Amino acid sequence: MSSPPPQLFDPALLARRRDRARSRFGQADFLHRAVAGEIEERLQEVNKTFTNAAIIGWQAPLWAEIIGLPAVALPDAETLALRPGAHDLVVHGLGLHWANDPVGQLVQCRHALRPDGVLVAALFGGQTLHELRAALAEAEVELTGGLSPRIAPMGELRDLGGLLQRAGFALPVADIRRFDVTYPSALHLMAELRAMGESNVMAARLRKPMPRALPGRVAEIYAQHFPSANGGVRATFEVAFLTGWAPAPDQPKPLRPGSAAARLADALGAEERPAGEKAGK
C-alpha cells in the first residue's frame, strides 16, 4: 500500500484565508482574469467544440464567465466533486500549487474526462515571487538569525510537465507565461497577496506572529534589490500551463525510434556524414 502524500499545506487554513479574502478579491483579481483569458484564447485554437466543461478553483465562477463556456464550477478541494466520464473539458484554475497531492487531483480530472477530452491546468511556477522570497530571507536572517517557511515551494516546468504523465494523460504539454507586475512597495505586494487568497498556509509555518520589524525591513531590502524602472518595485508571477488529453484509441501516437519513413538529411537537402566528420573533408 502506498503511503499518503506529505501534508505540505493546511487546507483548513487555506479555506479560511480565502473566505477572508473574498470581500477584497475584486481589487486583486487581475492575475485570475489574465490567466483565464489566456486559457480562453488557447481553447479557441483547439479544433473541438466543448459542451460539458468543468472549471475547478476557488474563483471558478469568474473563470467560467471569462472563458465563456457553460460549465460546472467546483472548488479545488483535495477530493474533487467530479463525476467519472462526465466532461469533455476540465480547467483547473490557479489552485493546483496548493494541493498536497497534485497528481491525485490530476488523476481525478482525467477520470472525469471522456475519451479525447482535454485538461488545461494553470498554476504558479518556480520563479513566482522570487524577489519577495529573497528579501524575506535576508531580512529574517538579519533580524532573527534564522529562516522560516514563508513562501510555498513551487515546481519548475520540467517537474510540472511530468505530473501530467504520472496522471496518465496523453499528448502532455507544459509551458510557462511570465507576468511582470509593478507595486508601490513590497508592503503593497504582500497586501495584494492576502487579497488574492495567496498568503502562507504551509503546514510547517511558524505559529507565532511575525516580528514587528520584519515587514518594514523586507520593504527596505526589496526596494534596494528589485526596483522597477518607473518607480516602486517589481514582482514576478510565473504561470505554468499544463495541457493533456484523456487517452482515446484514435489519438496520434509518437513514433518508435528508428521507424521514420524518410531520412532527415533528405528532407533538409543536406549530405549525411558519419559522426565526427567535418564539412569539406
pLDDT digits 0-9 by tens, 120-157: 999 999 999 999 999 999 999 999 887 777 788 788 88
Amino acid, res. 156: E
CA 236 distance to own-chain centroid: 13
Express as a percent the part of the chain with pLDDT over 70. 88
Where does the pLDDT of residue 278 fall: very low under 50, low under 70, confident under 90, or very high at 90 and above? very low
User: Is the confidence at residue 28, as pLDDT, over 70?
Assistant: yes
Taking the CA atoms of residue 94, residue 98, residue 101 and residue 107 in that order, the dihedral angle to the nearest 10 degrees is -10
Residue 130 dihedral angles phi and psi, to the nearest 5°: -65, -30
pLDDT surpassing 50 at residue 281? no
The alpha carbon of 274 is separated from its chain's Cα centroid by a whole number of angstroms, namely: 44
Distance CA 146, CA 206 (A): 12
Q: How confident is the model at residue 62 (pLDDT cuts 50, 70, 90)?
A: very high
For the chain, domain boundaries: 11-247
Q: What is the pLDDT of residues 205-229, one digit of tens each?
A: 877 778 899 999 999 999 999 999 9
Question: Where does the pLDDT of residue 238 fall: very low under 50, low under 70, confident under 90, or very high at 90 and above?
Answer: very high
CATH of 11-247, one of 1.10.10.60, 3.40.50.150, 3.90.1150.10, 3.40.640.10: 3.40.50.150
pLDDT of residue 14 exceeding 90, the answer is: yes
Residue 11 has pLDDT above 80, yes or no: yes
> pTM higher than 0.75 for the full model?
yes
Q: Does the pLDDT of residue 253 top 90, yes or no? A: no
CA distance 99 to 93: 12
Q: What is the pLDDT of residue 256?
A: 56
Q: Is the pLDDT of residue 163 over 70?
A: yes
Residue 51 contacts residue 129 (beta carbons within 8 Å): no
pLDDT at 268: 53
Is the per-residue pLDDT at 17 higher than 90? yes
